[in-house]
Amino acid sequence: MKHQVIRGLNRRSFLTACLGGVSGAIATKAKAQDSSSDNELCVFTKPFNSLSFADLAKQISKLGFDGIEAPIRRGGHVEPDTVQEKLPELHEALAEHGLNITVMTSDINDPDDPLTEKTLRTAATLGIKRYRMKYFRYDPSQNIQKQLMNFRSRAMALAKMNHQFGIQGLYQNHAGKDYCGAAIWDLETLLDGIDPSDIGVAYDIRHASVEGGTSWPTTWRMIEPKVQTVYVKDFQWEEGPRPVNVPLGQGRISENFFKLLKESNFTGPISLHEEYLDHRDPSLVENHLKAIENDLAVLQSWLG
């Protein structure tokens, strides 16, 4: 079906995508051979909106990742209404350094939004394999079950669109009282009957631990067949109920999770999220790079 999705890009962008995909694949294979993990490792680049695409690619390539999780959403590296022009530019800059867009973080959760098709068409033409969906949020004044069924209908329609374009949607579990998927139990209903290759779960161990406390291994076992990507970050509890993000290995995330991950024979990507420094302050770019370097070392030690 992918031969049907090239209409939104010009010839130059399409050729760039093809050549970039080949060079990126070769570089990724070489990096994987040097890594103790068989999983593709990427990093969420939200803290680097102040960098040009070329500088972003150069800095991330120095850290040793296979790719990035790129915010292609409002306020991100690429605004949704400029995706046809700017996403190929980002893809090309990354490919020049042997990197790819492992996950495209998006504002997509409505198949009827005109930007949904345009974004998915462009991403698929570039060979981007997966994107993170925008969250569904519950209205506490409305019936929760009815809302969940409405979300499910939208997810099913979006899954059909994903299948057409040959791209995979990912729904992340995110802590918080209004988030669909926070408790993880509702993800089973949301995605029931949907092939994980069309929409799977981006399992976030930080958010699962915040919401699940000591019971997160149970919900992990329940949702594991649908997990297609894993998100890694750490947290501590402040005085009171508020979780605070901290460097990896300095918080509540259990190393036992990575033992369960190995037992599950999970082969999908792992995305590192560094969110304990202010991502809005451009003067902290070097601090973010150093923090990510340290977090990556911890992650690699846990992966074994």
pLDDT digits (tens, 9 = 90+) for 228-245: 999 999 999 987 788 999
What is the tens place of the pLDDT at every residue in 10-51? 433 433 444 444 344 334 334 444 445 689 999 999 999 999
For the chain, what is the domain count? 1
* Chain position carrying tokens 């699962």: 208
- In this predicted structure, the answer to whether residue 6 has a pLDDT above a threshold of 60 is no
How far CA 159 is from CA of 20, 168, 216, 289, in Å, comes to: 27, 8, 27, 35
* pTM > 0.95: no
Alpha-carbon gap, residue 277 to 221, rounded angstroms: 32
pLDDT (0 to 100) of residue 203: 98
Helix or strand (DSSP H, E) at 219 = helix 216-223
Q: What is each CA distance from 232 to 6, 60, 165, 274, in whole angstroms?
A: 34, 17, 28, 9
Q: Could you tell me the residue range of the domain that residue 34 belongs to? A: 2-303
Using alpha carbons, select from 221, 206, 217, 237 the residue that is nearest to residue 299: 206
| CATH classification of the domain holding 77 | 3.20.20.150
